[in-house]
Amino acid sequence: MEDKLRESYEKLQAVIAESAHKNGQNVAVARLIAVSKGQSVAAIEAMLSFGQHLFGENRVQEAQRKFGPLRAAYKDIELHLIGSLQTNKVKAALVLFDVIQTIDRAELVMALAAQRARLPAADLRTNRFFVQVNIGAEPQKAGVLPRALPELLALCAAQHLPISGLMCIPPQGQDPAPYFRELAALARQHGLAELSMGMSGDYGAAIAAGATYIRVGTALFGARPAVQPLEGTSH
C-alpha cells in the first residue's frame, strides 16, 4: 500500500509544480490538503512519512477518532474541516481543527463566536476560518450565495471571527474555471488572501485561477470504500 501511495503523492506533487510553473506561479502558493475522509490511520501515517502534514476531514467525530491519537506523535499536523459543521459540534471542532473552511450562515457564526468566548485560550486550536461560497447558486449545496457574502463577512467581523479566505465547490459537469475565477475576484474584492478551491478532477484549473489550497482525496489515496464508516465507528 505504501509504495502505491508514495507513487500517487509524488505524481501529484509533480503535477502541482508543473501547473504552477505553467501559470507563472511559485509552487509554494498552492498547498496540498490531503482529504483523508474515509481513509485509514495507516494511510494517513504513510502520507505523514512522505512529508505531507496538511489534511482535510469532513466529519468532526471521524477526525477526532483518527487525528486525536496522531497529534500526539506528529506535532506539525495541520487539520482543516472541509465538511459542513453542525452547531452542536462547534466546541469539538474548535479544539480539534486548525482551520474551519465551511462558514456559511449567520447561525454558525454566532455559535462559533459564543463558543470561542467561552473556551480557555489554551484549549482553542482554530485560529483561521474560511467562508464557503455556493459559487454556482445550487440549491442542494451548502455555502453562502455570492450576493449575500458581504453581509456574512460583516457579521464575522462584528463577532471577531477571523476570516482568512473563501472556499467553494463548483457545479459538477461544468467547466470549473469561470467559477474559480469568480471566487478569486470575490476574495480580491473583500481583501481576502486565501482561496481553497480545486479537487481531484479540477485542481489544475484552480491553481491557474490562484488557489492557495487544493483539496485532493481520490487522486492521492485512490477511491474510498463504497460504504463510508459511520461517525464514531472504526474501519
| pLDDT bracket for residue 20 (50, 70, 90) | confident
Residue corresponding to grid cell 479540477? 202
Tally the domains of the chain. 1
Question: What span, in angstroms and rounded, lies between the C-alpha atoms of 210 and 9?
Answer: 21
For residue 232, is it within any domain? no
Structure confidence at residue 26 (pLDDT): 60
* Mean pLDDT (whole number) for 219-234: 60
* Mean pLDDT (whole number) for 201-218: 93
Between the two ends of the chain, the Cα-to-Cα distance in Å is: 16
Structure confidence at residue 23 (pLDDT): 72
**Torsion sign across C-alpha atoms 96, 99, 104, 110:** positive
Residue corresponding to grid cell 454556482? 136
| pLDDT bracket for residue 88 (50, 70, 90) | very high
The CATH number of residue 102's host domain is 3.20.20.10
52 pLDDT exceeds 80? yes
> What residue numbers bound the domain in which 62 lies?
2-221
43 pLDDT exceeds 80? yes
| pLDDT tens for each residue of 149-194 | 999 999 999 999 999 999 999 999 999 999 999 999 999 999 999 9
For residue 229, is it within any domain? no
Give how far Cα 135 sits from Cα of 141, 147, 196, Å.
10, 10, 12
For residue 231, is it within any domain? no
For residue 230, is it within any domain? no
234 pLDDT exceeds 50? no
| pLDDT bracket for residue 15 (50, 70, 90) | confident
For residue 179, is it within any domain? yes
| pLDDT bracket for residue 75 (50, 70, 90) | very high
For residue 235, is it within any domain? no
pLDDT over 70 for what percent of the chain?
A: 94
